[in-house]
A and B are shown apart, each in its own frame.
Chain A
């Protein structure tokens, strides 16, 4: 079963010539061909290109050349990451026909590492949403239960990895968009520290919060992929000029004596009992491995969600203003003047949720409201950050659920945006504080995957990976696959 092997395993087998890159890529493309009509992970499949690249890798190996580490590994990219000469739609009618003349840095880096792009995955339009139901093109199903959502906004990426339609994928995470769908689809997802991964070429939703990261089958793969996407990029002024360690090194060191904080605010009202139980059991496993766990408090947690929606919407209202029908993308027909062109183009080109956020953000930035909303939200952001700084003086990582409940039914929350927003209540504070966090599968509730969230200090991804790796060393949940 090539399609369910980890990227690490595939890499070794390809190198040892036990399997060719072409066979590997073909098996995943066959899987997409067979399953994606049901799952709906992909907006674009780049089959021919992928096969060509795989054959090239095989040829190189045959000629005695050396292969880069990810050679022949089939990957998927969320369709808000620019890929030169390949459509990049953001799941929006606005960019339906947009083909970027450049690539995101993460794609360039992964290409250099040899990875083969099999397709671009579905998302909530411009990454705004928690269920991938806001895509202008298709719905993505949760591979564990096709009547349920895969989470979002990187739902296509998470579902593709869960269903064996890519060895790994990249997602972007503004308020939980990697970790939340990873949790709901039973795979591993990491949002690195803000600044760890270049944002160049990733279509912006909220610039001060967006961060790309891997969605993988296990923690080892997460480290493996992370090794190839991190680092300072002079084209992104907010990328951090800090050393990038080898994330795979030291994975197996264990967690004896690691100090783990359990934030009580993340187990309060609204949590599904099955989720709480699985997370509590997981904490037990970590204690069994030698970690020291204590309850801690992050008192401003309740305010993070509101602050997040003001800041992210404010930035989005400005970031999405460029889609005006003048230079590229969708343009409304038959307009008499400039104002009409703007209004019709944007009314027709954007979906409901995107328009809702643009209005919310525009309002929050308007003169007379700026201080009460945007400025205040920034102050709250500082307080949330300080909460974390305080507990991180005494703890190495924090552990909590990734989501308050398992995957919900398709259509269940689409009529109630607030309920939808509340689903990200455990992931949002992490973005607000710019911290790294990892979501790993920790069992099932109602036969649906539950995610365990590990939150770390800035640039301490290694610590998170070590804890996650230790956990997966003594559990089997990450080896479970959905019956599709």
Chain B
């Protein structure tokens, strides 16, 4: 039997606010344990939360960029459960009246284009972090992350493959980056995925029993988890087994997929309206004000690159998926002045290769775009060959030095001085009279040998186009 996989995603994104959702503490990542805290985010007795306005603004931005309806009235609720990383023993979240609902996104792939529904986007606070590193085996808690604002973007179960899920998640990421709602630093956990997945015989309308996998923090883990869980569920059904509604854990390092808890063990969160906060009331004027200030979204930028700059669809797609990459690209194009395609070749080739190799995120590119533009100008001007330019680029990536200086330091500049080259070529011709004779006698391939000798003598630094030109002139005199 053929099976269809049905996938829904819950995406948690940390918002790029300066301060926490209910107090004035910094949201900066890291820091010495328990130093980004105050009585409010530690939930000390008598303290009260005060909602950070920016959080609402960012949630509305995310909603407007994903075609959501923005609620004129929404409220906060308490989600009650005991855990040491949760100082109040409840998380302030939104239960039945979120800020945004009923949105969608289009994803594009080999299958064409497809609409993925977004059920809701709500705001909530993050929890602290347990540290199991103490020497005596005890567990410590770091509350620095507690109270950092999050949005949770809940999709409809509209995806049918790991590929679709990845495309959807990537699109969410690029929208959040473009709107400045989140910096989406995956390695810092500021973007995390929960997967809801079930399988059913192809053609069936009824949904199968679903499982949930929480806290996947890379696209790779997302794809691996979906493929593995989908295979596992099909395997269970094929062998006549029954699937359990449960929460499972995917370990992307070991590739282990294990059960965490069943539906019966699921907690009753006893949601109720947060009495310490008032409802959030948003009027049309406020919402429209945010809509007007929305930046260019990835789709629009993509269109612009194709239409105005003549980039191939593929290049435009790859570059616009990441805002920092697109910004880098665009600034480079502007200061270079040559063709955008040349820049996109470099960005998609050398730059992305180095980022991947070194595990650097696109918002941490260690060179300014102007440096790449300068390097491209050196290639165009013949100062450096394109193969030498790759070496320069790699070195630039390490040291951040300016390309001209690097070319000099590494001795990679081409000999483009006509007089100097003419002298060298004359010498080569003197030393190889036979080849000169051969050429003049009609054996034109003797020219190749002479070019080779010239390059050898210059240790490859001679500008090949210029060598050809001069040699031809001299031979034909």
Give A residues with C-beta under 8 Å from B: 80-82, 88, 90, 95, 98, 100-102, 104, 199-204, 206-208, 234-238, 314-315, 317-318, 321-322, 324, 326-328, 338, 342, 362, 365-367, 370, 374
12 examples of A-B residue contacts, CB within 8 angstroms = A98-B45, A200-B48, A202-B46, A207-B275, A238-B277, A318-B90, A321-B88, A322-B89, A362-B270, A365-B271, A365-B272, A370-B270
Assess A322 versus B45: contact at CB under 8 Å? Given A101-B39, A237-B51: yes
Interface of A is mostly: loop
- A469 CA to B271 CA, complexed, in Å: 45
- A328 CA to B44 CA, complexed, in Å: 9
**One of B78-86, B366-374, B387-395 contacting the partner:** B78-86
Q: B46 touches which one: A200, A206, A342 (CB < 8 A)?
A: A200
Question: How many Å from the CB of A462 to the closest CB on chain B?
Answer: 25
- CB contacts (< 8 Å) of B44 on chain A: these are 100-102, 328
Docked-complex contact A237 and B43, CB < 8 angstroms = no
- A243 CA to B90 CA, complexed, in Å: 34
**8 nearest CB pairs, A to B:** A321-B89, A207-B275, A365-B270, A208-B275, A203-B45, A201-B46, A82-B46, A203-B46
- CB contacts (< 8 Å) of A338 on chain B: these are 84
Docked-complex contact A315 and B51, CB < 8 angstroms = no
Residue among B39, B46, B89, B268 with the most chain A CB within 10 A?
Answer: B46
- CB contacts (< 8 Å) of B277 on chain A: these are 237-238
Total residue contacts A-B, CB cutoff 8 A: 95
- A199 CA to B46 CA, complexed, in Å: 8
- A342 CA to B83 CA, complexed, in Å: 10
Binary interface encoding of chain B residues 79-110 relative to chain A, with 1 for a CB under 8 A from any of its CBs, else 0: 01010100111100000000000000000000
Binary interface encoding of chain B residues 33-56 relative to chain A, with 1 for a CB under 8 A from any of its CBs, else 0: 000000100111111111100000
Docked-complex contact B45 and A367, CB < 8 angstroms = no
Contact residues of B between 371 and 428, Cβ < 8 Å to A:
none
Question: How many Å from the CB of A281 to the closest CB on chain B?
Answer: 40
Docked-complex contact B276 and A366, CB < 8 angstroms = no
- A288 CA to B278 CA, complexed, in Å: 44
Smallest CB gap from B83: residue in A: A338
Question: How many Å from the CB of A386 to the closest CB on chain B?
Answer: 20
Docked-complex contact B82 and A324, CB < 8 angstroms = yes
Docked-complex contact A237 and B45, CB < 8 angstroms = no
Interface of B is mostly: loop
Docked-complex contact A342 and B276, CB < 8 angstroms = no
Docked-complex contact A201 and B141, CB < 8 angstroms = no
Residue among B89, B272, B276 with the most chain A CB within 10 A?
Answer: B272
- CB contacts (< 8 Å) of B276 on chain A: these are 204, 207, 237-238
User: Size range of the interface on B?
Assistant: 20 to 34
- A202 CA to B44 CA, complexed, in Å: 11
- CB contacts (< 8 Å) of B49 on chain A: these are 237
- CB contacts (< 8 Å) of A102 on chain B: these are 39, 44, 46-47
Smallest CB gap from A315: residue in B: B275
- CB contacts (< 8 Å) of A98 on chain B: these are 45
Q: B272 touches which one: A104, A201, A202, A370 (CB < 8 A)?
A: A370
Question: How many Å from the CB of A254 to the closest CB on chain B?
Answer: 38
Question: How many Å from the CB of A222 to the closest CB on chain B?
Answer: 24
- A100 CA to B47 CA, complexed, in Å: 10
Binary interface encoding of chain B residues 180-199 relative to chain A, with 1 for a CB under 8 A from any of its CBs, else 0: 00000000000000000000
Docked-complex contact A237 and B48, CB < 8 angstroms = yes
- CB contacts (< 8 Å) of A324 on chain B: these are 82, 84, 89
9 additional contacts (CB under 8 A) given A100-B44, A315-B275: A82-B46, A101-B44, A102-B39, A237-B49, A315-B272, A317-B270, A318-B270, A321-B82, A326-B84
Assess A321 versus B50: contact at CB under 8 Å? Given A207-B276, A365-B272, A366-B268: no
Smallest CB gap from B80: residue in A: A318
Smallest CB gap from A201: residue in B: B46
Docked-complex contact B46 and A204, CB < 8 angstroms = yes
Question: How many Å from the CB of B94 to the closest CB on chain A?
Answer: 15
Docked-complex contact B84 and A366, CB < 8 angstroms = no
- CB contacts (< 8 Å) of B78 on chain A: these are 318
- A327 CA to B44 CA, complexed, in Å: 9
Docked-complex contact A322 and B270, CB < 8 angstroms = no
Smallest CB gap from B143: residue in A: A327
Docked-complex contact A367 and B89, CB < 8 angstroms = no
- CB contacts (< 8 Å) of A321 on chain B: these are 80, 82, 88-90
Binary interface encoding of chain B residues 136-158 relative to chain A, with 1 for a CB under 8 A from any of its CBs, else 0: 00000100000000000000000
- CB contacts (< 8 Å) of A199 on chain B: these are 46, 48
Docked-complex contact A238 and B80, CB < 8 angstroms = no
- A319 CA to B89 CA, complexed, in Å: 9
- CB contacts (< 8 Å) of B47 on chain A: these are 102, 200-201
